[in-house]
Amino acid sequence: MGCFHSKISRHSTPGYEEPTVLAAETAFTVSEVEALYELFKKISSSIIDDGLIHKEEFQLAIFKNQNRRNLFADRIFDLFDFKHNGVIEFGEFVRSLSIFHPNAPLADKIAFAFRLYDLRQTGYIEREELKEMVLALLNESDLVLSDDLVEMIVDKTFDEADKKSDGKIDQDEWKEFVSKNPSLLKNMTLPYLKDITLAFPSFVISSEVEDLEVQAHANTR
């Protein structure tokens, strides 16, 4: 694997963005973006080696099973794929993961979680959507709760969150609800992202970034 060869293949991949650009616009440093590129390469070549993460490759990475369908994994995939072209490109990958960085703004995490749960992207989390998600979780965990009990759980949550009592949770109601129940956002932070350079040290060899640029970015952190 010569440096020259990988320079060509990297830049010709659609959606590839320079580490320096991504570092400037996300919570990651240049080195961290380079390390993420190693991770991205691994995931995006697992089934189809085209520098893009397909749904099956995403499912394979999360569940170690490319065929496992899951409502929540679908939602995450759709949110990561903000260009909506059915694949996750490197730029999308880094920008989306940035929201999960411990240093990312809380407002971004709150907004991302809201969009995640807004299954039909209406701008609101409707009661039916919440019930659908609870049922999906119970189903995937092989748990059985009576419909009455599920209704009760959904009702109680909705009563607490839907202050305007209009049958749906809007972004403001969500923000208030989350401020009272901060544990709801725990999935929105991956502490591991702070140590990403340790997990993928091989980025050093394939790094294309000049020393001065690395230092410049390190100094701004």
Partner 1 sequence: MYKKITKGDFKCPEYFPSVATKLLSRILDPNPFSRITLAKPMNNNWFKKGFKQIDKPPILEQEQDKSPCSVFNIVDDSDVESSSGHKEQSSSTMKPTCLNAFDIISLSPAFDLCSLFEKDKSCRSDARFTTQNSASTIVSRLQEVASMRSFKVKKKNRTVKMQRSKEGRKGKLAIDAEIFEITLAFHVVEVKKKSGRTAEYRKFCDQGLKPSLNDRVWTWKGNEQ
Cβ atoms of 119 and 133 within 8 Å: the answer is yes
Q: Which two tokens stand for residue 215?
A: 């230092």
Alpha carbon distance 32, 89 (integer Å): 17
Cβ atoms of 126 and 168 within 8 Å: the answer is yes
- Report the phi/psi class of residue 86: left, alpha or beta, with left for phi > 0 and alpha for psi in -120 to 50: left
Burial of 134 (0-12, 13-18, 19+ CB in 10 A): middle
Q: Is 165 among the residues that bind partner 1 (CB under 8 A)? A: no
Q: Is 79 among the residues that bind partner 1 (CB under 8 A)? A: no
Tell the smallest beta-carbon distance from residue 13 to partner 1 (Å).
19
Within positions 95 to 124, which residues make up the interface with partner 1, using CB under 8 A? 97, 100, 117
Which one among 13, 17, 62, 115 touches partner 1, defined by CB under 8 A?
Answer: 62
Closer CB to partner 1, 48 or 145, in the complex: 145
Q: Interacting stretch for partner 1, rule CB under 8 A, among 9-17, 20-28, 44-52, 58-66?
A: 58-66
Within positions 193 to 212, which residues make up the interface with partner 1, using CB under 8 A? 196, 199, 204-205, 207, 211
Alpha carbon distance 90, 40 (integer Å): 7
List contacts with partner 1 (CB under 8 A): 39, 43, 61-65, 68, 70-73, 76, 97, 100, 117, 130, 133-134, 136-138, 140-143, 145, 149, 152-154, 156-158, 160, 181, 183-184, 186-187, 190, 192, 196, 199, 204-205, 207, 211, 214-215
